[in-house]
Amino acid sequence: MDSQEAVIRKTFQQIIRAAGKYARIEKLPISVEDGVEVSTREIHTIQAIGERDQMCVTEVASHFGVTKSAASQMIKKLEEKGFVEKNKVPGNDKELSLKLTRLGWKAFDAHEEFHGKDRDVLISLMKKYSFEEINTLSVLLDALNVVMDKRLDD
């Protein structure tokens, strides 16, 4: 039987492989309509805004764990492509409210279809595991996020 450390190392390698595959998937475009594509990174921002109906740039940065500058750059790109519109927040001259356009909602729906299939398969596969096993995975991912947050803060 493997030692605890060996299993931890094997698990870490599996996470690295999955992260590499995820990074490749993030680069795949999603077709919204004829001649209009959006990157997975862009669509995740669109999804976050759509799920909340509207957000501000600071909330986008916090949601994705990126700087406000990085979030602003993504929002600017989405606005230029016609997916997002920015409006001033009443009573706050510094913050802008973000809302999806018609094209943004179309992209949102395309993303739901694109990832909905993967999510359904993953949920089906995960249902064979006990609550305790799934909870252990969740704890592991929390620990991984602590390490990643520390690295990003350094």
Inside any domain, residue 19: no
| Residue matched to tokens 């004829």 | 34
Which burial class, exposed, middle or buried, applies to 50 when counting CB atoms under 10 A from its CB (0-12, 13-18, 19+)? buried
pLDDT of the chain, 154 residues: tens digit per residue: 679 999 889 988 999 999 999 888 878 888 898 889 998 889 889 999 999 977 888 899 998 889 999 999 999 999 999 999 998 877 777 778 999 999 999 999 988 887 778 888 999 999 999 999 999 999 999 998 898 889 888 8
List, in sequence order, the alpha helices (H) in 53-90.
57-64, 68-80
Inside any domain, residue 152: no
**In the 8-state DSSP scheme, what is residue 71?**
H
Specify the number of domains making up the chain: 1
Q: What is the pTM of this model?
A: 0.64
Inside any domain, residue 154: no
3-state secondary structure at position 150: helix
Expressed as residue numbers, the domain containing 68 is 29-147
Inside any domain, residue 23: no
Inside any domain, residue 22: no
Inside any domain, residue 97: yes
Q: What is the CATH number of the domain that holds 38?
A: 1.10.10.10
